[in-house]
Structure 1
Amino acid sequence: MLKVALLYQTREGQTGRILNVIKTQMEQSGFQATVFDVGESSGSIDLDSFDAFILGCSVRYGHHHKKFCQFVESNYQTLNARPSFFFSVNLTARKPQRSRPDNNRYLQKYLARTPWKPDLVDVFAGALLYSRYDLFSKLAIQLIMKLTGGSTDTSKDIEYTDWERVDKFCRTVADRLNNSVRQKSEPVGTIV
């Protein structure tokens, strides 16, 4: 059974929620999936004991989490040596013109500066969780939402995540990992 490490960092929990859905789908596809929060356990993860990696990170104020970026920077050679997949979670992905990997500037900016080269990337819209923000964050995000045409109603939370898109990402990852396993198990032809 292929062992897959699911590595993430989140602030209010939406990236973790997405990753738990991915974990369930990977297990249903026949993989052994283990979840790690790199913000809490980055030094204790033995990456060499895994066959593949799925990483996810949220964006806040235009940047992926610092500890996540440091983790990738420290481990990019291992991540590049095995199948690895990445998803970014941000509120700008709620807009059609920012909802794909090729048109999401936060994802593109991150990919341009990291030495890690994931086999597949995607971007998912996160959640606007006013109820979980401290006063400063609530006011700052409310201003950003006002400037970008988002909800400024702090009395309700809004989930923008497209779960069908998450499901498609999972199916694609599972297919690629299964193809990788099949290719490795096919007998090498003999020369006569």
Structure 2
Amino acid sequence: MNKILLLHSSTDGQTIKILNRIKEQLSNDSDCELLDANMLPKIDFDQYSKVLIGASIRYGHLNKKLYQFIERYQSELKASRAGFFCVNLTARKEGKDTPETSKYVQTFLSKSPWQPEIMDVFAGALYYPRYRWFDRVMIQFIMRITGGETDTTKEIEYTNWQRVTDFTERFRTF
């Protein structure tokens, strides 16, 4: 059985939710281990047949610890069959929902010493009631500017689960 490493750099949990769905889909023929890349874990990449990193955007940026993780393990990632996906609210809009059209993925590729062989981008979720006051106000402001939902009583999941399924199948066979 294949062993796959699933790493997350998540802020509010949607990236973990997506990785758990991927884990479920891969569980028939793979043993998957889920770890927090932001904790900068010590990893023996030789025990994994594939690696997948999922990372969320907060205030326009990926977590700095994700870049530290990639810097630390860039040679191992380059030598592995490794993929990447980005989760953000901008991807809820058509035309900003592919690796080629996502400014966040393009920024990641320009900053990262590792260039993933397989990538995607998924829309995240808006969980206003769960946010601290500052985050709720800031995200509401950003959503107002970008034409998104501003009702702070709402929770909206924008993730297209069929896209996640399609990506999982591409990842399984790459």
TM-score by length of structure 1 reads: 0.88
Q: State yes or no: 1:31 paired with 2:34.
A: no
Q: Distance in 1 between matches of 2:87 and 2:166?
A: 16
Where does structure 2 lack aligned partners over 5 or more consecutive residues?
none
Deviation at 1:45, TM superposition (A): 2.8
Superposed, which structure 2 residues align to 1:99-138 within 5 Å? 99-138=97-136
Which structure 2 residues correspond to residues 170-185 of structure 1 after superposition, within 5 A? 170-176=168-174
Equivalent position of 1:43 in the other structure: 41
Q: Work out the CA distance in 2 between the residues paired with 1:21 and 1:12.
A: 16
Q: More helix by proportion, 1 or 2?
A: 1
Q: 1:102 is paired with a residue of what secondary structure?
A: coil
**Which runs of at least 4 in structure 1 moved beyond 3 Å after TM superposition?**
none
Which whole-Å CA distance do the structure 2 matches of 1:11 and 1:43 have between them? 17
User: Percent of counterpart pairs with the same letter?
Assistant: 44
- Amino acid across the alignment from 2:18: I
CA root-mean-square deviation: 1.0
Distance in 2 (alpha carbons) for counterparts of 1:67 and 1:47: 19
Alpha-carbon distance between aligned partners in 2 of 1:102 and 1:157, rounded to the nearest angstrom: 28
Shift of 1:59: 0.3
Structure 1 residue ranges without an equivalent (≥5): 177-192
SS of the residue 2:66 aligns to? helix
Alignment length (residue pairs): 174
Equivalent-residue separation in structure 2 for 1:77 and 1:61 (angstroms): 29
Amino acid across the alignment from 1:37:
D
Rounded Cα–Cα distance in structure 2 between residues aligned with 1:44 and 1:81: 17
User: What TM-score does the superposition give when structure 2 sets the normalisation length?
Assistant: 0.97
Find the structure with the greater CA-based Rg. 1
